Amino acid sequence: MKSTLLNMTAVLFGITLVASAGVGAVNLITEEPIARAKEAATVAALNEVLPAFDRTVPAEMMIDEIPITVYTATKEGAVTGYAVQTMTKQGFGGAVRMMVGFTPAGEVVNVNVLEQTETPGLGTKMADEGNPLLGSIQGQRLEEKKLVDGKLAVTKDGGDVDALTAATISSRAYVDAINRAWMAYKSAVTGQAPQEAASGATQTNGPAAQEGGENE
């Protein structure tokens, strides 16, 4: 075949078409397993943060322009708790996603950190069992905590949530996500529109913060 611009264009088009078809086929093959894995991870998180239940009903809402999902859990028709899939964008390493469980009366059952990219050995401790952040709120009604402008806050900001050692930014992010979950829980219980929950904490990634991990 004589090499011409038209022939080369046709060959390149054919290669592109085959490659695109291959990518599409891979997506079709992997889409269902990925969806099943995500569903399994959600179910596992719900089981970790909720009292016993046999059914959950999800509801979507937006708080601070962030999508939040509230799962109302029931057992034999009675509400046993609420789980909130919440997040914050204020982590030292980016977004932090978590599942927060509440009893119908508003006590925090447990917190499951689903996703975080914090500093290893510092901010990553937010996912450890029995960490100070969780210990400051687990089994408690958040409205009975020492609030700052109606929200939870770490001790450094005037509240009574114990921060992770040398990880103030990550700790503030954790609290920010918990505040958002709390607003969502209250909205689900009362049927009223959720309040804004932004903590107003700022993230500083200057040279000092980088050299010293997250210690401020």
What was the pLDDT predicted at 207?
35
Q: Please tell me the pTM assigned to this model.
A: 0.78
The residue with greater pLDDT, 71 or 33, is 71
**pLDDT at position 214 over 60:** no
For residue 200, what pLDDT band results from cuts at 50, 70 and 90? Answer: very low
- H/E segment holding residue 116: none
The residue type at 197 = A
Determine the 3-state secondary structure of 200 from DSSP: coil
pLDDT in tens, 133-151: 999 999 999 999 999 999 9
* Chain segment 85-103, per-residue pLDDT in tens: 999 999 999 999 999 999 9
Backbone angles phi, psi at 147, to 5 degrees: -95, 155
Give the DSSP H or E segment for 70.
strand 66-75
pLDDT exceeds 50 at position 211: no
Give per-residue pLDDT as tens, 53-81.
Answer: 999 999 999 999 999 999 999 999 999 99
What average pLDDT does the segment 156-164 reach? 97
Residues 6+ apart with CB under 8 A from 21: none
Binning pLDDT at 50, 70 and 90, where does residue 17 land?
confident
Residue 7's Cα: distance from chain center in Å? 52
